Chains A and B, each alone.
Chain A
Amino acid sequence: MSERWRLVLATLLLAAVVHLGVVLAVPYVVMGRILDVAIAEAGGVNQAVAAPIQDAGERTVIRPSPDILYTACAYDVSRQPLRVTAPLPDSYASLALFAGNTNVTYVVNDREVGDEIDITLVAPGAEATAPEGATVIETATDRGLVLIRFLIEDESRLAELDAVRREATCEPQGRPEP
């Protein structure tokens, strides 16, 4: 093979590697940015934060809904389980878990659970570390996002809804593994 062809081939192969690397990295980079924001706003991992109502001034996550109150916590279950609780209003509410690559790995809404959501997140394979009686949800990745949505169905009851959603908590369980 001539030298020219060898260089062309090397370029193409390297380009393919770069292409794959970029495409595979995108979801992790996007999620990483969001987790950084959630951690900064909450003051740490495994802590719930009530996001401000979304309006034209909010430019953190693309296409937020102005009709939803969001509560989030960046989870890290690598060292201990995380219990997530949220009392529910009488309007639509849902909880979703997002893995480190943005995939939705679990969703539950108010019609499926009743008065409150109470789940305990564990890392893959770490089911046994959860407290007895807990509703255990295995995450897909050690780090990710819990996002709870509370729909503003009645604007006149916004303050009431806001008070309910601020009662959502994320609490690490047990003692952290070293």
Chain B
Amino acid sequence: MEGYPLRRWLAVVFSAVVLGVGSAALAIFSAYRLSNVENGIWRTIPVTSSPDADIWTRALIAIVGVLALDRSETVYFSATTDGDRQPLSSRCDYRIEGGRFATRWWSLTAYGGDGFLIPNSAERYSFSASTVDSGPDGRWTVTLSAEPQEGNWLPTGDAEGIDLLLRFYNPEPELADALGTVELPTVTNLGCR
């Protein structure tokens, strides 16, 4: 190769790395919007280990859902906004209402924007089929708030951004085969500080 100065090739390599890594990150996050199933404020990625998940979806799942079980065992739904599509915040209080689900067991867990459980004085992080106080018809209300509440209180502490995760273990086909339409809990903003 005659006389291409080293400087020029370093520029090529540098640009290629920036472009390559940047486009990879973009493609991986785009895979999220393309492959998820939406149901109101909730979204799920049909976690699959089958070879026909493309490489970007597989990279995405490795980042946001590592060690998640696949749909044959567990279905996951995530929500980061309230019913008015406003991002969930520990500065606001919310009423989450739900009932029974066609599944062996379910849980609703609050995570901070960093993806981990939110430190709080009550050391409560979730409600489930076993722990939620519900009425005789199976309906329940959970209050999502930084301040202690009567009844089912799910603390949000000081979290910057909140991610609610619904887990359904051994869901019935009427749930697992209807991810976009099955009735899921509603989240209503009760007011912000």
Binding site for B on A (CB under 8 A): 3, 7, 10-24, 26-27, 30-31, 34, 54-59, 61-67, 92, 94, 96, 98, 101-105, 107, 109, 111, 145, 147, 151-155
Contacts and interface: CB of A to CB of B under 8 A. Distances in A.
Interface residues of B, number: 54
A58 B117 contact: yes
B184 interface: no
A155 B127 CA distance: 12
B51 to A, nearest CB: 9
Given A23-B24, A23-B59, A111 B170 contact: yes
Contacts, number: 150
Given A56-B119, A102-B62, A19 B69 contact: no
Given A18-B17, A19-B24, A67-B126, A7 B66 contact: no
B86 interface: no
Contact of A11 (B19, B117, B123): B19
Contacts of B59: 23-24, 26-27
Interface stretch (B35-43, B94-102, B107-115, B137-145): B107-115
8 contacts: A12-B16, A12-B19, A18-B20, A26-B63, A34-B66, A55-B125, A56-B119, A103-B58
Interface in B61-91: 61-67, 69-70, 72-73
B67 A15 contact: no
